[in-house]
Amino acid sequence: MDEIQKRLLLEIADLHEIPEGAYNIRSNGEKAGRRTTENIDIVTKTDKPGIDIIIKPGTKHESVHIPVVLTKTGFEDTVYNDFYIGDDADVLIVAGCGIHNCGNQKSEHDGIHTFYVGKNARVRYVEKHYGEGEGTGERILNPTTIVHVDEGGYLEMETVQIKGVSSTDRRTEGDVAKGGSIVVKEKIMTHGDQYAKTYFNVDLNGEGASASVVSRSVARDRSVQEFVSVVNGNSACTGHTECDAIIMDEARVTAKPELTANHVDAALIHEAAIGKIAGEQLVKLMTLGLTEEEAEAQIVNGFLK
Amino acid sequence: MLRLEHIGYAVPDEKGEVKTILKDITMTLDERFIVITGPNGSGKSTLAKIIAGIVKPTSGKIYLDDTDITDYSITDRAKAGISFAFQQPVRFKGLTVMDLMSLAAGKKLSTGKVCDYLSEVGLCARDYVNRELNGSLSGGELKRIEIAMTLARGTKFSIMDEPEAGIDLWSFQSLIRVFENLYRSTSGSILIISHQERILDIADRVIVLESGSVTADGSKDKVLPAFLSGTCPKIG
Name every chain B residue with its beta carbon within 8 A of the beta carbon of A299.
Answer: 92, 94-95
Mutation choice for A interface testing from B75, B117, B153 by most A CBs within 10 A:
B75
Of the candidates A244, A278, A286, the beta carbon closest to that of B78 is on A286
d(CA A66, CA A35): 10
pLDDT score, position A15? 61
Determine the average pLDDT of the residues in B59-88.
96
Mutation choice for A interface testing from B45, B83, B103, B108 by most A CBs within 10 A:
B103
Specify whether the CB–CB gap between B35 and B207 falls below 8 A: yes
Q: What DSSP string runs through B121-177?
A: TT--GGGTTT-BSSTTS-HHHHHHHHHHHHHHH--SEEEEESTTTT-TTS-HHHHHH
Residues of B within an 8 Å Cβ radius of A: 52, 54, 73-75, 78-79, 82-84, 86, 90, 92-96, 99-100, 103-104, 106, 149, 153
Of the candidates A291, A298, A303, the beta carbon closest to that of B93 is on A303
Enter the ipTM. 0.94
Nearest residue of B to residue A280 by CA position?
Answer: B90
Name every chain A residue with its beta carbon within 8 A of the beta carbon of B73.
Answer: 286
How many C-beta atoms surround the C-beta of residue A276 within 10 A?
11
For the cut 60, the answer to whether the pLDDT of residue B96 exceeds it is yes
The SS3 of residue B39 is: coil
User: Residue A25 carries which side chain, given as an amino acid letter?
Assistant: I
Architecture of domain B2-229: 3-Layer(aba) Sandwich (3.40)
Domain residue ranges in chain B: 2-229
Which residues lie below 8 Å from residue B23, measured CB to CB, with a gap of 6+?
A: B8, B212, B213
First to last CA, chain B: 23
Of the candidates A290, A302, A304, the beta carbon closest to that of B75 is on A290
Of the candidates A283, A289, A302, the beta carbon closest to that of B95 is on A302
Name every chain B residue with its beta carbon within 8 A of the beta carbon of A287.
Answer: 52, 54, 74, 78, 82-84
Q: How far is B222 from chain A (nearest CA, A)?
A: 34
- A48/B contact by beta carbon, under 8 A: no
Strands A76-85 and B2-12: unpaired
- A292/B contact by beta carbon, under 8 A: yes
Cβ contact (<8 Å) for A290 and B103? yes
d(CA A236, CA A208): 6
The SS3 of residue A140 is: strand
Cβ contact (<8 Å) for B78 and A304? no
pLDDT along chain A (305 residues), means of 10: 75 68 87 91 94 96 88 84 97 86 80 96 91 80 94 95 85 97 94 92 97 94 95 97 94 95 97 94 97 95 89
pTM of the model: 0.84
First to last CA, chain A: 30
Q: What DSSP string runs through A2-67?
A: -HHHHHHHHHHH--SSSPSSEEEEEETTEEEEEE--SSEEEEE-SSSSEEEEEE-TT-EEEEEEEE
Determine the average pLDDT of the residues in B144-158.
95
Of the candidates B54, B96, B104, the beta carbon closest to that of A288 is on B104
For the cut 50, the answer to whether the pLDDT of residue B236 exceeds it is no
The pLDDT mean for chain B works out to: 91
pLDDT band at B190 (very low <50, low <70, confident <90, very high): very high
Cβ contact (<8 Å) for B103 and A285? yes
* Cα-trace Rg, chain A: 20
